Structure 1
Amino acid sequence: MKFRVISTKSDIENIDKNDEYIHFAFRPSNTDIFNAISNNPDIKAIQIPSSYMKTLSKSMKMFFDIHNVSLIEGDIWGHRKDINEYYEVPDSVYKKLREMVNEGLSEDNIIEKMSKETRLDPDFIRFLLNHGNY
């Protein structure tokens, strides 16, 4: 799964029609989110920083629901956009998820352990469990 990293408002105009997963590396306004989804109606998920999630309006949450776009809280740590404009979830994460699911661990246990091991946000791990191809 590849997330297109959007680090500036001008990047929103360059979202490719094939980009299904978006990560905002800055605190986007409602207009920024609206433009991203309007420019590409096939977006399946948007990840936004935790600082913005706390102030997200109910109407914006409804907008996500109406457009069937998953909202993920968190950041992508250590990614350098100057090297690659996409963040791809490593195969090792999917392998570990598969192992834990096969062991019969609960979703909460998997999220807790994976969060510690990978430094991925719990909400992101939950999304991968429910939408990933592991």
Structure 2
Amino acid sequence: MKIRVVSKRDEIPNLDAGEKVIHLAFRPSNEDIFTLIKRCKDVEVIQIPTSYRRTVSKSIEMFLDMQGIRLVEGDVWGHRKDINEYYSISPAVIERIKEMKSEGIADDEVAERLSRESKLNKEMLLYILEKD
């Protein structure tokens, strides 16, 4: 699974329209989020750093909720945008998810454990669990 990393608002108009998971590495305005949704019709998750999460307006949160788009907190640790515009979730994490699910462990518990083991936050792991 890949997360498209967007470093600046100037990149939004050039995104692939089929992007599903996007990490905004800048503090987005309401207009930035509207532009993103208009450009990427299939987006399912928008991830922003924890420090920026508190600045997102309630109206944008409600709009995203009505569109069925998750707004999650988190970072893409160690990612270098100059090398690759996508952050790839390790196949080992996906494999670990499958193992834990086959053992009958509840999704919340899987996300909790893996958030400690990996560099992904619980909300993103819950999304991956639903998709897998």
TM value normalised by structure 1: 0.90
Match for 1:130: what amino acid?
A: E
**Residue pair 1:15, 1:40 contacting (<8 A) in 2 also:** yes
**Partner SS state of residue 11, structure 2:** helix
Q: Are 1:32 and 2:52 counterparts?
A: no
Residue 126 (structure 1) aligns with:
126
State the 1:52 CA deviation.
2.1
Match for 1:53: what amino acid?
A: R
Give runs of ≥4 in structure 1 deviating > 4 Å: none
**Partner SS state of residue 78, structure 2:** coil
Q: Any residues of structure 2 matched to 1:57-72 within 5 Å, and which? A: 57-72=57-72
Identity %: 45
State the 1:100 CA deviation.
0.7
Match for 1:80: what amino acid?
A: R
Residue 92 (structure 1) aligns with:
92
Match for 2:112: what amino acid?
A: E
**Partner SS state of residue 63, structure 1:** helix
State the 1:108 CA deviation.
2.8
Residue 113 (structure 1) aligns with:
113
CA distance in 2, matches of 1:107, 1:101: 7
CA distance in 1, matches of 2:117, 2:60: 32
**Residue pair 2:18, 2:41 contacting (<8 A) in 1 also:** no
State the 1:109 CA deviation.
2.1
Match for 1:117: what amino acid?
A: E
State the 1:80 CA deviation.
0.7
**Partner SS state of residue 5, structure 2:** strand
Q: CA RMSD in A?
A: 1.4
How many positions carry a matched residue from both structures? 132
Q: Note the residue ranges of structure 1 that are not aligned, 5 or more in a row.
A: none
